[in-house]
Amino acid sequence: MAEAAEKRDLSKWMETYRIYVLENGKPPPSVFAFCRLLEIGEEEFFAEFPTLESLEGAIWAERLHHVREMLEADEEYATYPPRQKALAFFYTFLEAIRGQRSWYLARFPRKFPAPDPKTLERFRKSFLEWAEPVAAEEVGEGKLATKLKADKKVAKLLYGHFRAILKYHLEDDSENFESTDAFVEKSSRLFFDLADTRIPESAADFFRFLSGKK
């Protein structure tokens, strides 16, 4: 019971933070001000998060973790080849954020490609935890160029691809986001097809650049 109550509290903190940002156009000015909103002591906040940035990072990571849980609970998903798993992940995530689109529009980094801000560190880590086994499957099938035969490297490139998808989606003004659906399908096909055809190191460098990491 205590653990469940703790989870509910953190969920309330995240929602309070999210609503504050949407209503004010910026995060609370300090941990003190945020704790006043929640009517809690600062020591309670710092027992969970070192900064407001880390709380925002938890909001991003929570949604991605939820999508991972949904997919991992689907027995059919486990039978998909790597490409299909990637498509399922992308489409499921985009569907999951529709109800909070205003939040993602407000807080997703506008500069792209660029390194992730601190608020996306946990988000990126959770994505890579999902992506590395998928990359390992693709590598195991011998479908990746020699220069890319490293699970972690491929996963990082896939993260750059994912960020490009998010950016496109958040700028999409087509009806029912139909352009996003086409972008996801075509760009994902290109990503894996390039890997199939032994892309040169210059192309690998470009995808690393998109990921914002070396």
Q: What average pLDDT does this structure show over 46-72?
A: 95
**Predicted confidence (pLDDT) per residue in 103-162, tens digit:** 999 998 866 666 678 899 999 999 999 998 888 876 665 555 444 455 677 788 899 999
Separation of alpha carbons 193 and 32, rounded Å? 51
Residue 196 has pLDDT above 80, yes or no: no
Q: Rounded to whole angstroms, how far apart are CA atoms 194 and 124? A: 23
Q: What is the per-residue pLDDT across 162-195, written as a single tens digit (0 to 9) for each?
A: 999 999 999 999 999 999 999 999 999 888 877 6
Neighbours of 130 (CB within 10 A): 22
Which DSSP state fits 28? -
Residue 167 has which token pair? 């950016």
Give per-residue pLDDT as tens, 22-50: 999 999 999 999 999 999 999 999 999 99
pLDDT tens per residue across span 139-152: 665 555 444 455 67
| pTM, two decimal places | 0.81
Residue with tokens 């097809």: 193
At 190 the pLDDT is 86
Tokens 């894996």, located at residue: 192
Q: How many residues does the chain have?
A: 214
CATH 1.10.357 applies to domain 60-211: yes
Judged on CB neighbours under 10 Å (0-12, 13-18, 19+), 57 is buried
List the domain boundaries for the chain: 1-48, 60-211
Rounded to 5°, the CA angle 60-113-153 comes to 80
How many Å apart are CA 99 and CA 102, to the nearest integer?
8
pLDDT tier for residue 9 given thresholds of 50, 70 and 90: confident
